[in-house]
């Protein structure tokens, strides 16, 4: 179990950048807990504290009964940590990297192969290739294999799918689901809101603070606004027009649609006619169900 209470972290004396502002949460055994938020929100600072790589200014973090400050040597034995940037040895081969990490923890690939076989067998045909020559998805699988080779109790993954293609992202999350079934505690951060639905619980983070913590569906169920989608040609011009409308509270581009929150007094057909009168003849306006990203935007506005 992970128990975090009132963590604060700041950087620099002159600028005094506050990265974490009293973060508190718990993660249970066999749970995937996601920290969801944009770049610069404090995710990496939080994870580096939990991995015993940096010290908090105040607060506490207990990982399976061990304090990240007092028991940092034990912490490093019971966690598997995968940083946001690929940090393995680029000049070593796939197999050499894995052997090196196994040796660090006094084990071997053969002894714990069963822990990584579902992941490693996908890159094993390339075991003699240098790590620096791997594709993004292969690097990701190698890094996860190295993080798992010593049979950790807790897996900490800092934005593991950033810059990875959609197919590899899906494969990665399928792997996490299988690891969860083995009772592993998995703490993962991401800037991709669509990945939130693969977590058991999530925390939405902004500027070093958790603004909501719940199951993904719980976050969505608490959404209280009136949410519509707008489609048509000349979307950038439509977006500008929508933001000028006095009964529209917020407007954001979401792929091929614009998501808007509106005053309860406004009707969809009324808005459609308004846009038609503005020479947007092919426009369509319709209600939609919110996503986690919609909830995040509503909470931060």
Residues 36 and 110 both lie in one domain: yes
Asked, for residue 222, whether it belongs to a domain, the answer is no
Output the domain CATH number for residue 243.
3.30.70
The angle at the Cα of 178, spanning 128 to 127, to the nearest 5 degrees, equals: 0
Residues 164 and 235 both lie in one domain: no
What pLDDT is recorded for position 183? Answer: 85
Q: What would the pLDDT profile of 138-158 be if each residue is shown by its tens digit?
A: 888 899 899 999 989 999 999
Output the domain CATH number for residue 181.
3.40.50.300
Residues 92 and 177 both lie in one domain: yes
Query: Residue 148 in contact with residue 155, Cβ under 8 Å?
Result: yes
Average pLDDT of the chain is: 91
Q: What would the pLDDT profile of 231-256 be if each residue is shown by its tens digit?
A: 988 899 999 999 999 999 999 998 89
Domain boundary pick from 169, 187, 215:
215
pLDDT of 163 strictly over 80: no
274 Cβ partners below 8 Å, 6+ apart? 245
Q: What is the mean pLDDT of residues 158-182?
A: 85
pLDDT of 14 strictly over 60: no
What pLDDT is recorded for position 86? Answer: 83
Angstrom distance (rounded) from CA 191 to CA 217: 18
The reported pTM is 0.88
Residues 118 and 163 both lie in one domain: yes
Q: How many domains does the chain have?
A: 2
The residue segments making up the domain with residue 152 are 2-215
Q: What would the pLDDT profile of 55-77 be if each residue is shown by its tens digit?
A: 999 999 999 999 999 999 999 99
Return the higher-pLDDT residue of 194 and 79: 79
Residues 262 and 186 both lie in one domain: no
Residues 114 and 235 both lie in one domain: no
């Amino acid at each position: 179990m992970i128990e975090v209470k009132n963590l604060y972290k700041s950087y620099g004396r002159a600028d005094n950048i506050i990265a974490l502002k009293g973060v508190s949460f718990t993660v249970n055994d066999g749970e995937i807990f996601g920290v969801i938020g944009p770049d610069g929100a404090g995710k990496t600072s939080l994870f580096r504290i939990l991995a015993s790589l940096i010290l908090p200014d105040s607060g506490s973090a207990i990982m399976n009964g061990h304090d990240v400050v007092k028991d940092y040597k034990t912490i490093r034995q019971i966690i598997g940590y995968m940083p946001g940037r690929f940090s393995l040895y680029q000049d070593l081969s796939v197999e050499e990297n894995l052997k090196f990490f196994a040796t660090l923890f006094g084990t071997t690939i053969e002894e714990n192969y069963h822990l990584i076989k579902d992941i490693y067998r996908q890159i094993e045909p390339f075991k003699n290739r240098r790590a620096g020559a791997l594709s993004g998805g292969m690097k990701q699988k190698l890094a996860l294999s190295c993080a798992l080779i010593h049979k950790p109790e807790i897996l900490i993954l800092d934005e593991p799918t950033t810059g990875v293609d959609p197919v590899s992202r899906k494969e990665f999350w399928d792997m996490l689901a299988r690891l969860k079934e083995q009772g592993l505690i998995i703490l993962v951060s991401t800037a991709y809101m669509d990945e939130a639905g693969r977590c058991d619980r999530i925390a939405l983070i902004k500027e070093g603070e958790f603004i909501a913590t719940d199951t993904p569906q719980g976050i969505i169920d608490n959404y209280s606004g009136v949410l519509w989608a707008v489609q048509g040609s000349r979307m950038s011009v439509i977006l500008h027009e929508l933001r000028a409308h006095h009964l529209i509270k917020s407007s954001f581009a979401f792929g091929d649609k614009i998501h808007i929150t509106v005053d309860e007094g406004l009707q969809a057909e009324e808005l459609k006619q308004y846009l038609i009168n503005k020479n947007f003849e092919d426009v369509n306006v319709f209600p939609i169900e919110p996503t986690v990203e919609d909830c995040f935007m509503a909470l931060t506005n």
